[in-house]
Each structure stands twice: as structure tokens, then as C-alpha cells.
Amino acid sequence: THFGFRTVDKNDKEAMVAGVFHSVAGKYDLMNDLMSFGIHRAWKRFTIECSGVRRDQRVLDLAGGTGDLTAKFSRLVGESGEVVLADINASMLKVGREKLRNLGIIDNVSYVQANAEALPFPDNYFDCITISFGLRNVTDKDKALRSMFRVLKPGGRLLVLEFSKPMLKPLSKVYDFYSFHVLPRIGDMVTKDPGSYRYLAESIRMHPDQETLKGMMVDAGFDSVNYFNLTGGIVALHRGFKF
């Protein structure tokens, strides 16, 4: 990474992730569209469809960043529902809040700066939790999954949308080339920060594959865990329930 090659301990990783998202916050939405050719919108739409969220429910959009999912949930839950956009990074939260306010989304959304590893909410509080492209940035993923399980209501569901392992070898090769060579260049042109996008490529490679993440969710207490491969497994949506 642009921080040099060395063993990264917990505090280093948190500081690195904080630096990356402070740096890219202002250009995050533009970069998402450029890097994924707009496909992230379809992945997010699918997540909403699988969420089963209805009017009056309480939803946590964890590591919610600039609030794409929050905006959609806000419409689904209606005035008497509640959506919490939680993120560890103040810059991302600020960009998200401004964007949603400009869209006229005000009444049923609140913003909380929080670490996924230690969620500041009561037990059994949310009907649905989503974490979209956030889990791979979390240092202690098992702890974060246990924290999500605690704040989910019995009957509630967790959806984890995240980069995963492409199912076919040739796709894997093309994808590796894209993420290690093309992506940092786009990052350099748009944000003048290729290091942050090199971090992104490395974090994708390090993230647990489909079956490993499924096992981690089961270990954290989730039931009926399954996943959907999207775009050949470049991304996967994992879903688990608290019964």
C-alpha cells in the first residue's frame, strides 16, 4: 500500500481505513459509478429486494457511507418507520447527510457515528441490518457480526453485500488485473489518491470468500444463512436470520 509494506495491527488498520475514507468521501459516489460501470446500483437494488423491509420497520444501514441504501429504506419504512445510517467516518457521514437532505429525506433518518464492532444500540432493536461494502474494512469482523446479531430483533435479518470470490478462473484473472492496475489509475485521475484505491484492491483480495463468510455468520449466531453470487461472484449478498 502507499503506507509501505509492513504488518498491520488493529490500530494501524483503523487509522488506514479512516485515512482512506476521509480522503475519498467527496468523490465517493462518482468513483463508485466509474469503477463499477454503474453496476453497484443493481447490486444495491437486489439487496433492497431481499431485505423484505416494510412500512413502520426499523433499519440499520451500517457502514452506510453516503447513504444509497438509507435513501431507499427511508421510502420503504415510511413516516412511522426509522432508518439509522451509522458509519465510523465523520467525512462519509457528512457527505451522506448532505446528499439525503438535498433529496428531501429528513424525517425518518438519523445519523450515528459508530464502530461496527461495538454498536451503541439496545439489544433486539432493528428489524433489518445491512452492511454494504463495509465489512471488509472492519478490523474484527467476528466481533462486528456478533454486535449486529445482538442489536437485531428476533425474526430480523442481516444482509451483507460485499466483494467476494469470482466463480470462474478467467473472470478472476481479468478482475485481478482490473483491480490492481486499472482501478488505482482511475483513482489517481479522479481523486489524485491512487494509494486509497490500491488499499481497496488489497482489501478485496483479503476478504473472506463466500463459504468462509457464511461460516462466520453462523458462528456469530445467525440461522438459515445463504448467499447469492452477483456478477459471477465478484460480489455476493449474504443473508442470515436471528430466530
Whole-angstrom distance, CA of residue 221 vs CA of residue 235:
23
Going by C-alpha positions, the residue among 16, 36, 212, 220 that lies closest to residue 133 is 36
Say how far residue 42 (Cα) sits from the centre of its chain.
15
Closer to ligand SAM by CB, 100 or 116: give it: 116
x/- map, 44-63, ligand SAM, by CB under 6 A: -------------------x
Whether 36 contacts 234, CB under 8 Å: no
Whole-angstrom distance, CA of residue 85 vs CA of residue 63:
8
137 is a site residue for ligand SAM (CB under 6 A): yes
Closer to ligand SAM by CB, 49 or 223: give it: 49
Backbone angles phi, psi at 108, to 5 degrees: -105, 15
Residues 31, 109, 116, 201: which binds ligand SAM (CB under 6 A)? Answer: 116
Nearest-CB residue for ligand SAM:
65
Residues 88, 109, 128, 236: which binds ligand SAM (CB under 6 A)? Answer: 88
Q: Which of residues 28-47 bind ligand SAM (CB under 6 A)?
A: 32
Residues 31, 35, 51, 65: which binds ligand SAM (CB under 6 A)? Answer: 65
Backbone angles phi, psi at 238, to 5 degrees: -95, 140
187 is a site residue for ligand SAM (CB under 6 A): no
Closer to ligand SAM by CB, 223 or 238: give it: 238
89 is a site residue for ligand SAM (CB under 6 A): yes
112: left (phi over 0), alpha (psi -120 to 50) or beta: beta
68 is a site residue for ligand SAM (CB under 6 A): yes
64 is a site residue for ligand SAM (CB under 6 A): yes
Q: In b/e form, how buried is each residue of 54-77, taking b as 16+ CB within 10 angstroms?
A: eeebbbbbbbbbbbbbbbbbbebb
The strand pair at 82-87 and 126-132 is best described as unpaired
Size of the site for ligand SAM (CB under 6 A): 19
From the list 85-93, 185-193, 209-217, 221-229, the region that binds ligand SAM by CB under 6 A is 85-93
- Under the rule (CB under 6 A), what is the footprint of ligand SAM? 17, 21, 32, 63-65, 68, 87-89, 92, 115-117, 132-134, 137-138
